[in-house]
Structure 1
Amino acid sequence: MKTRNGDDIMGKIHLEGADNARDLGGLKTTEGAVIREKKLIRSNRLSKLTQNDMNLLSNEYHLHKILDLRTPMEVEQEADLEIPEASYMNIPFFMESMVGVSREKETKKQMLHMQEFPDMKDIYIMMIQNKFCNQQITKAVREVMTTENGSVLWHCTEGKDRCGLLSAIILFLLDVSEEDVMEDYLKTNKAAIRRVEKIRKKLHVAGFHQEKIEKLEGYFVAKEEFLNAALKTMKEDHGSINQFIKNGLHISMKEKQQFKDKILE
């Protein structure tokens, strides 16, 4: 997939209050079909949307459903703005206690003083192997699959990890190739490049060693090794990504085909 022009990212939805929102429409499957536009939207937090943003999502994308994958504490501290005609569901992929660190404002400050914090690869593996995580992912996938009359949007805080994993699973359900799934996952870095540069400079000025800066960066940038850790776990534990979807998430091949029939053209 190539950018349309300059720094523009294919499928990017230009929102003033969410810099990592994009439409998965236009992506091709391994069978040559194309995902319909204005059906599947991935994003980062929706707490800073402007009135123009909400009008765009309502009027142009006919937003019908919002799936918030953040923890209850994250939601409490920075709630989504309500968008007319769009239902809202909080489906946290994990709880704070499961990882030790999430992106609450207090914890962000604490991260800078921690000697040890979770490795992002371990968090991706946990989301594949943990029973609670699997149940929540299944719930979110089914909500995406059963959306009618408009679009469904899912998001976490940065639009990278929880959002990225759900996006990957949705694309695999539609039979998009691993290469194109990874390419979509890494587009987050183009959207967030200015934000990440600011974080790097702050950490450098604060006197952090390069090794720790690189590890902390993992909380704000998408890396192939993170998603690959999840894909490898799916394959090792279930035999294939399709088998993970079938046996790990309990999505039948009949349900998968029905979803494809609805979303692909």
Structure 2
Amino acid sequence: MSTDRWLHLDGTANTRDLGGLPTTDGGTTASGRVLRSDNLQDLSPADVRTLVAELGLTEVVDLRTTAEILMEGRGPLREVPSVTHRHLGLLPERGLRTDVFAAELDDAELRARLPAGWGESVLPRQVGLGDEVEPPAVRSYLGYLTDSPDQVVAALRSLATGGPGATVVHCAAGKDRTGVVCALALAVAGVGHEAIVADYAMTAEVIDAIVARLAATATYAEDMARPREQHTPRAETMRRVLELVDQRWDGPLGWLEQHGFGPDEQAALRARLRS
């Protein structure tokens, strides 16, 4: 997989374009339409100019929990009027299910109201029933599809209808929650399983930088103390997830159809992602 899709920003470690990937019919995905990233809290003024003025960013799809956003505070893109933000958390929330973007994210009193145990929902640890034999990451990714299907579909709808400029979808590290949403989007675009797996595994190239970024924050520091190998994405993880999606739902498109993302919406997403 070519690595020239990386977008080197001062304030992120894992931002890249979903363009340039091969499709099974001989085409490629379009550049400058959808980006995937780790969190955007630390973007520099130069980064904001690159994203908004140069790449034409108009939408952010944030897959983090309410607690994560409240603890991390407003990122600089929240101050750009031309950029729409959509909060579609994929992990179970422990209370406080209000629209986080309707609140003042730097409000200390609001942060103090976070429920006990909120940190347990920051990173992906849920286990789908009947999947106990699968590796933890596989169980977590299947959990997004079984426990948060409406949020997954809403994220894909945002990608399909976003624009006219680019959309960036992100979570904290840009590998787990973002990885599953991007895998489904690429499948709709006609990208084959192995190219989806290769895109997912690219995050391993920058995992040290990702861990360093997150370890420097109070929100994620404790979790980042785990061994490096527990954070590193492996190709076999996404390959197994896609295999199980094929078995259980007749593939990613089958999962989408069964959860209300039908042919018309799939066509719109495909058109947005294709050259």
Select the residue among 58, 63, 68 that pairs with 1:69: 63
Unaligned runs of 5+ in 1: 3-8, 105-117, 200-211
Partner SS, residue 120 of structure 2: coil
User: 1:229 Cα deviation (Å)?
Assistant: 4.1
1:253 maps to 2:254: no
- Is 1:128–1:234's contact at 8 Å kept on the other side of the alignment? no
1:43 match: 37
1:122 match: 139
Quickly say closer, same or farther: Cα 1:197–1:231, change in 2 above 3 A: same
* TM-score, normalising length: structure 1: 0.78
User: 1:257 Cα deviation (Å)?
Assistant: 2.2
Q: Which amino acid aligns with 1:39?
A: R
User: 1:39 Cα deviation (Å)?
Assistant: 0.7
- Is 1:66–1:87's contact at 8 Å kept on the other side of the alignment? yes
Where do 1:1-265 residues align within 5 Å? Answer: 1-2=1-2, 9-83=3-77, 84=80, 85-97=82-94, 101-103=120-122, 119-130=136-147, 133-195=148-210, 217-218=229-230, 220-247=231-258, 249-265=259-275
Q: Percent identical across equivalent pairs?
A: 25
Quickly say closer, same or farther: Cα 1:240–1:62, change in 2 above 3 A: same
- Is 1:127–1:134's contact at 8 Å kept on the other side of the alignment? yes
Structure 2 Cα separation of the partners of residues 233 and 39 of structure 1 = 29
Quickly say closer, same or farther: Cα 1:39–1:242, change in 2 above 3 A: same
Q: Alignment length, in residue pairs?
A: 230
Unaligned runs of 5+ in 2: 95-116, 124-134, 215-224
Structure 1 Cα separation of the partners of residues 119 and 213 of structure 2 = 25
Deviates more, 1:91-100 or 1:53-62: 91-100
- Is 1:68–1:154's contact at 8 Å kept on the other side of the alignment? yes
Structure 2 Cα separation of the partners of residues 99 and 232 of structure 1 = 32
Q: Which amino acid aligns with 1:257?
A: A
- Is 1:65–1:87's contact at 8 Å kept on the other side of the alignment? yes
Structure 2 Cα separation of the partners of residues 53 and 177 of structure 1 = 32
Structure 1 Cα separation of the partners of residues 267 and 93 of structure 2 = 35
CA RMSD across the alignment? 2.7
Structure 2 Cα separation of the partners of residues 195 and 139 of structure 1 = 26
Q: Which amino acid aligns with 2:23?
A: T
Structure 2 Cα separation of the partners of residues 125 and 177 of structure 1 = 19
Structure 2 Cα separation of the partners of residues 223 and 99 of structure 1 = 28
User: 1:120 Cα deviation (Å)?
Assistant: 2.4
User: 1:27 Cα deviation (Å)?
Assistant: 1.4
- Is 2:67–2:118's contact at 8 Å kept on the other side of the alignment? no
Partner SS, residue 101 of structure 1: helix
Partner SS, residue 186 of structure 2: helix
Structure 1 Cα separation of the partners of residues 249 and 6 of structure 2 = 34
